[in-house]
Amino acid sequence: MKINKIAIAGSLESNDALVTIRPIEGGIKLEIDSIVGKQFFDRIEEVAYRTLEGLGVDSVSLKIQDRGALDCVLEARIETAVLRGGAD
């Protein structure tokens, strides 16, 4: 899926994440800011890449501002942002 515009999903509430995507050319740029990053950075990164791959996204700037979200919440926020950013 091609990302056409900036899109946001989620919130900065506890146990949630704010996900922002922007279209870019050539590759995935991932930025993660997490209150639990010391313990779970690798897992958050894995979930992000797996979700983008599952949606067929290979060119995007993805920023995740995590406030302790579970994997399923991260997946839902990323998917929502991608669908919003890919819609015309």
pLDDT confidence bin for 87, thresholds 50/70/90: low
Q: What is the pLDDT of residues 13-62, one digit of tens each?
A: 999 999 999 999 989 999 999 999 999 999 999 999 999 999 999 999 99
pTM of the predicted model as reported, rounded to 2 decimal places: 0.94
- CA atoms in the 13 A half-sphere facing the CB of 59: 10
Q: How many Å apart are CA 62 and CA 52, to the nearest integer?
A: 10
Fold of 7-86: Ribosomal Protein S5; domain 2 (3.30.230)
